[in-house]
Structure 1
Amino acid sequence: MLCEKCNEKNVCMMRPSNKEKLCKECFIESFEEDVHDTILKKRMFEDNDKICIAVSGGKDSSVLAHVLVNLKKKYNYKWELFLLAIDEGIKGYRDDSLKVVYKLEKLYNLPLKILKFENLFSYTMDDVVKFIGKKNNCTVCGVFRRQSFEKGALLFNATKLVTGHNADDLAETILMNMCRGDIDKLAKNINDMSNAGHMNKKYNCAGDSQNGIKNLENIQNSPEQVRQKNYKNCENIDDNNDNNHNNDNYDDIILNDIMSERLDEKCSCINNNLDNDRGKKDEEIQKYEQNYEEKYNNSNNNNDNDNNNSNGNSFFLPRLKPLMWCYEKEIVLYAFHLKLDYFSTECTYSPNSFRGNLRCFIKDIELINAQFILNIIHSAEFFYFNSINQKRLNICIKCGAYTSNKICKACLIIDGLNNYTDNSFLYSNKKKAKKKISIHFDNKKVEG
């Protein structure tokens, strides 16, 4: 049977997405064009964007890096591409997958940074599992990884962060949030894409610099100067790794300085107007946060008219998913035909996760009809954020990371591990009452 596209070469596969029967060359070209269409339709990137690619050595991130490099060459885009990997400290797993990451660095000649949980949070995942067991370790790993990606993107002064999540991953996440009754996260997973179009150029500036990370190349502060900053009426940065700061670990110094600038600006604003009445502190913090948010929102008003759907958190770095409509099966075939190197071993701790059960379910329904996976994702697009109830993005008073609460989840976890008694600290930010879902049936409203 000949390829339906070129009518010259033999068919090698039938695409699950559109049932097209294609040869190897036509499939590779069609796959890349589909990713390109997703980028254009979602307006993910702009010219001169600094794109940080989250890589793990697995098939998804390896394919994503290859596709973006090819698209940049093919269409002469002026993107700057960087590779960012996270070492969670899982012996026998991450140390092997990082070997593939080093190969990607050499193959594409892209800058690479590897951040370690041990350096950022003082704990490896192996250490965490010794405390909490294997039941909730994926929750901790996810929190630490997300914050690590933000910090790594700061080091690159990136404007966009891209991950290799595919259609199967998104369907799993949507079903997982439906099972938990988490409607806000259900909507966020899909509608997060709207952040891409209105990315604020001042994201990494901590307040007043317009050139990304403030004087990144000229930071001369010694480790001692960074650690000796005083923040009155605010908690100091938790620095458990003072002895580890040296010239070989300069990235940690830069990160501390960036987070310090965020805290310094926030605290100085509070201190200038704060009287002895401690009861007024929260009011002053709230005023500052409103001014801070308005300041960045106003800077975005000069953007294109198409970017008016801002969610208010304009200084938050968008995490984008160019492979969001690509089936896992197609990603594997793309890597196979191009002979891309990737690490295929599953994480040591993932078989115990709830997501694993949903992954099996997704594979079962894919056998019936692969379109079911995309239908699940499309269904979630009908869930939208309630902007009135949406939380404001704050700055963590302990580490300077962005969070919707006063203290970020990562700091709460670290405090819980430092003073470990039980696993209750993992649920400290959970809502006590579940939201009721209204269901309309035969013109009658029923509370679910």
Structure 2
Amino acid sequence: MEAGEEKSKKAGGECFYEVFEEEIHQVIVGNRLFKFGERVAIGASGGKDSSVLAYVLSELNRRHSYGLDLFLLSIDEGITGYRDDSLETVKRNEVQYGLPLQIVSYKDLYGWTMDEIVKMIGLKNNCTFCGVFRRQVRSKFLHSIPSLSKFLQNRLFCFMILCLVEFLKALDRGAALLKVDKLVTGHNADDIAETVVLNILRGDIARLSRCTSITTGEDGPIPRCKPFKYTYEKEIVMYAYFKKLDYFSTECIYSPNAYRGFACEFINDLERLRPRAILDIIKSGEDFRIATTTKMPEQGTCERCGYISSQKWCKACVLLEGLNRGLPKMGIGRPRGNVNGDYKDIKARSTAKTIESKQCGSLDF
């Protein structure tokens, strides 16, 4: 009886694996996420999403002959007791999945670790720095010219950026070495639904119009793909658990109060009442349209580092300038206008020479 139950359980698990993997395959094929022979970087944090993504993508690549050149790309933010442990998981994944690994650190690129930043500014705004830096390194490390992702245009709110996504500074040698065609991330349906809610709450129509796209940055140097767009987080957890995949499950020690957490709780409450709530929110986000009369911010490039920006300097350069000058809150929560309603960036002009003379950082391979 026990043997029969075990066999039945195994058969059920095999069916789940097959359905899970086939759904991801259909998403990849149906949305034409990849082309044969492309070099693809998998954003790897060691967590369940990226670990499952790396495993499934390597399996599908072999099974369906995608012809992709896959490798893992990890970021070391310098968070003692968190990132150092998770990177050990990524290093094991490198061996387990047979995928080469490249690690880039905040310290080498920006001269600061997250521990040092938190020591300087406290816990209140640390996710702002981490979110901005991680997204930029992911784009810049993979290509030496500006990517499409722009930095925050509106006032920065504490903890509104999840450490997902996005990574740091432009690296000519790294770009020449890697020659990346695409970046894939483990963002799942829950993550995307949370982002839709966040963009609605902060009135960010620019991000709302593109946050549900399965591929972004197609007209830029490095398109970003989300094969798990329609995959529930609970499905990923089940897959990782029953497949006995090696992943790191500890939460970032600096993120418990992140604003995104409130959106997550809200969506979880909705899901209890309506199981399809997550996919419904994504569908609603896809159906949003920006009126033709709405004036969208114009994208340019940062005068200091060349990264995409709607301002004179990108947010990373502004934040770094504040850190380096001992003013870590520079650029965070700055009023958008003076008492007369006219915006005058006095500090930016007065420190223009200082900003332009500083370097974001560099890294040799």
Normalising TM by the smaller chain, what interval? Answer: 0.7 to 0.9
**SS of equivalent to 1:374:** helix
Number of the residue aligned with 2:258: 353
- For residues 157-188 of structure 1, the C-alpha deviation after alignment (integer angstroms, 9 at most, x for no partner) is 11111111111111111111111111221112
RMSD: 2.4
Contact 1:396–1:402 (Cα < 8 Å) also in 2: yes
Number of the residue aligned with 1:65: 54
Which letter does structure 2 place at the counterpart of 1:72?
Answer: N
Contact 1:87–1:94 (Cα < 8 Å) also in 2: yes
Structure 1 residue 139 displacement after superposition: 1.7
In terms of Rg, which structure is larger?
Answer: 1
Structure 1 residue 30 displacement after superposition: 0.7
Structure 1 residue 84 displacement after superposition: 0.3
Number of the residue aligned with 2:287: 382
Contact 2:214–2:226 (Cα < 8 Å) also in 1: no
Residues of 1 paired with 2:33 and 2:250: CA distance? 30
Contact 1:113–1:152 (Cα < 8 Å) also in 2: no
Instruction: Report the TM-score, using the length of structure 2 for normalisation.
Output: 0.76
Contact 1:84–1:152 (Cα < 8 Å) also in 2: no
Gaps in structure 1 of 5+ consecutive residues:
1-8, 13-21, 200-313, 434-448
Residues of 2 paired with 1:60 and 1:431: CA distance? 41
Number of the residue aligned with 2:137: 148
Instruction: Report the TM-score, using the length of structure 1 for normalisation.
Output: 0.63
Structure 1 residue 113 displacement after superposition: 0.8
Which of 101, 116, 130 is residue 90 of structure 2 equivalent to? 101
Residues of 2 paired with 1:38 and 1:190: CA distance? 14
Structure 1 residue 403 displacement after superposition: 2.8
Map 1:333-348 onto structure 2 (within 5 A): 333-348=238-253
Residues of 2 paired with 1:335 and 1:341: CA distance? 8
Contact 2:44–2:51 (Cα < 8 Å) also in 1: yes
Residues of 2 paired with 1:360 and 1:330: CA distance? 18
Residues of 2 paired with 1:147 and 1:412: CA distance? 13
Number of the residue aligned with 1:86: 75
Which deviates the most, 50-59 or 413-422? 413-422
Contact 1:188–1:385 (Cα < 8 Å) also in 2: no
Structure 1 residue 379 displacement after superposition: 0.5
Structure 1 residue 82 displacement after superposition: 1.2
Which letter does structure 1 place at the counterpart of 2:111?
Answer: S
Which letter does structure 2 place at the counterpart of 1:362?
Answer: I
Number of the residue aligned with 2:323: 417
Which letter does structure 1 place at the counterpart of 2:81?
Answer: G
Number of the residue aligned with 2:17: 28
- 1:357–1:88 distance in 2 versus 1, CA, 3 Å: same
Residues of 1 paired with 2:254 and 2:239: CA distance? 27
Identity level (%):
47
**Are positions 1:399 and 2:312 aligned together?**
no
Structure 1 residue 427 displacement after superposition: 3.8
Higher-helix-fraction structure: 1
Contact 2:200–2:208 (Cα < 8 Å) also in 1: yes
Number of the residue aligned with 1:115: 104
Residues of 2 paired with 1:80 and 1:394: CA distance? 32
Which of 132, 138, 148 is residue 127 of structure 2 equivalent to? 138
Which letter does structure 2 place at the counterpart of 1:411?
Answer: C
Which letter does structure 1 place at the counterpart of 2:46?
Answer: G
Map 1:233-382 onto structure 2 (within 5 A): 314-382=219-287
Residues of 2 paired with 1:370 and 1:157: CA distance? 42
- For residues 8-47 of structure 1, the C-alpha deviation after alignment (integer angstroms, 9 at most, x for no partner) is x7468xxxxxxxxx81111111111111122222221111
Which letter does structure 1 place at the counterpart of 2:100?
Answer: P
- 1:73–1:129 distance in 2 versus 1, CA, 3 Å: same
**SS of equivalent to 2:209:** helix
Structure 1 residue 423 displacement after superposition: 2.0
Structure 1 residue 132 displacement after superposition: 2.3
Which letter does structure 1 place at the counterpart of 2:188?
Answer: N
Number of the residue aligned with 1:187: 209
- For residues 34-88 of structure 1, the C-alpha deviation after alignment (integer angstroms, 9 at most, x for no partner) is 1112222222111111111000000000000011101101111111101100001
Number of the residue aligned with 1:50: 39
Which letter does structure 2 place at the counterpart of 1:41?
Answer: G
Which letter does structure 2 place at the counterpart of 1:410?
Answer: A
Residues of 1 paired with 2:334 and 2:182: CA distance? 30
Which letter does structure 1 place at the counterpart of 2:322?
Answer: G
Which letter does structure 1 place at the counterpart of 2:235?
Answer: E
Contact 2:210–2:216 (Cα < 8 Å) also in 1: no
**SS of equivalent to 1:406:** coil
Number of the residue aligned with 1:178: 200
Structure 1 residue 369 displacement after superposition: 2.7
Which letter does structure 2 place at the counterpart of 1:370?
Answer: P
Structure 1 residue 324 displacement after superposition: 1.1
Number of the residue aligned with 2:358: none
Contact 2:196–2:208 (Cα < 8 Å) also in 1: yes
Number of the residue aligned with 1:408: 314
Gaps in structure 2 of 5+ consecutive residues:
1-6, 144-173, 342-365
Contact 1:48–1:78 (Cα < 8 Å) also in 2: yes
- 1:331–1:429 distance in 2 versus 1, CA, 3 Å: farther
Residues of 1 paired with 2:248 and 2:280: CA distance? 29
- For residues 108-161 of structure 1, the C-alpha deviation after alignment (integer angstroms, 9 at most, x for no partner) is 222211110111111111111122221221121111001111133233211111
- For residues 410-445 of structure 1, the C-alpha deviation after alignment (integer angstroms, 9 at most, x for no partner) is 111101111234624224597999xxxxxxxxxxxx
